[in-house]
Amino acid sequence: MITIIFPYRDRDLIRIKKSLDSLKNQTNQNFKVLFVDYGSKIQFSNKVRSLVDSYSFTEYFYSYNSKQPWSRSKAINIGLKLTQTPFVFIADIDLIFRNDFIDILFKLQNPKKAYYFKVGLLSKEETDLTKDFLDYQISFSSGAGAQGLSMFPMKEINDVQAFDEFLHFWGAEDNDIHCRLIRAGIESVFYDKEIMLLHQWHESYRKSERNTLTKELQLKGVIKLNQQHLINSRNNEVIKVNSENWGMPISEKDYYELESYDSSIILTNKIEVVNHFLFVELPRYEKRILSIQFVEDPFQSTLKYKVKKIVGKTVPKYYSLKEINDKLLLHIISFYHVFPYSYEISSDLKSINFRIKK
């Protein structure tokens, strides 16, 4: 048997059904699906669970990361910790599988090789249609640089401590795992003899990224940061990346303990206030919940402040809430992502709320 891991958050049910239906029609049924829901909104996840549970080969697992930035690495690693088969295929909820794909996986299984696959990408218009696999019109196909859809031997994945959990939002995690496996003696093979997988269209992270604060969690420059992290790992020939407790989900208990904590410290956006919190207060907090709300200093919007600034008098210096967002998120993914935490931007975009249990 082989395990297929689907990392997932807040995608529409139609593409889930298309993907799972294509697995339901496989000529070889010797597989199971671990569907890792990395923090979909609770009211939405119930519908997803109901759909996923209607397939006999699927197992749904929910991790309470709804108030955290997306990390495909961490979602996959949760699934890897649950995997008990000798080989695993990392999938994507946007995939449509050719009906003999599982047969091909079994033929390719090799403890010293990691295979990744050429993928046919569909247009938005073609994605909206329901067809047999061979009837879809492919817009273009992926090249050797796209390594996201891969089959790995589990022992070797465990040996290199799985996907790098520093990587959040978008980019680099697939190239990184292949590079580290190569350094560990595993051959990386691009299967491009034929197209066995189709990818349903969706808007890319790059196009959705904004330079201003948004309700949806974003970190400016994270794509370049992830690429630099990949370069650094290559230059230093890194093989193992995570702590021993990689692949740990956020529990329901921790999530609701954070949610119910009703005492917050309010901090303004003064530069010295923010810097002191990031570099002094946050590292020192231990064994309790810390709840912080960042808001703009009321003085910043007063006429007195504006006049003093215009005439060149000394006034406080401020970070924008977007700058605080980027600095705080960078700190979290760098040093604190292993702790239970929640991060939320208010609907009116006037405050940032951060809670962590250390």
Instruction: Average pLDDT across each block of 10 residues of the chain; the chain has 358 residues. List them in order.
Output: 96 93 97 97 90 97 96 98 98 96 97 96 93 92 91 97 96 95 97 95 74 92 94 94 92 95 94 97 92 96 90 93 97 95 97 96
Nearest to 293 by CA among 327, 250, 325: 325
pTM (2 d.p.)? 0.94
Residue 34 in contact with residue 8, Cβ under 8 Å? no
Q: DSSP class of residue 333?
A: I
Nearest-angstrom CA–CA distance, 355 and 342: 5
Strand ranges, E, within the chain: 2-8, 31-38, 58-63, 87-90, 95-97, 113-117, 119-121, 140-141, 150-153, 187-191, 197-199, 265-268, 289-295, 341-345, 351-357
| Model pLDDT, residue 207 | 64
Question: Which burial class, exposed, middle or buried, applies to 172 when counting CB atoms under 10 A from its CB (0-12, 13-18, 19+)?
Answer: buried
| Model pLDDT, residue 265 | 95
| Virtual torsion, Cα 180, 184, 185, 188, nearest 10 deg | -20
What single string gives the DSSP state of each residue in 163-202? S-TT--SSSSHHHHHHHHHHHTTPEEEEE-SS--EEE---
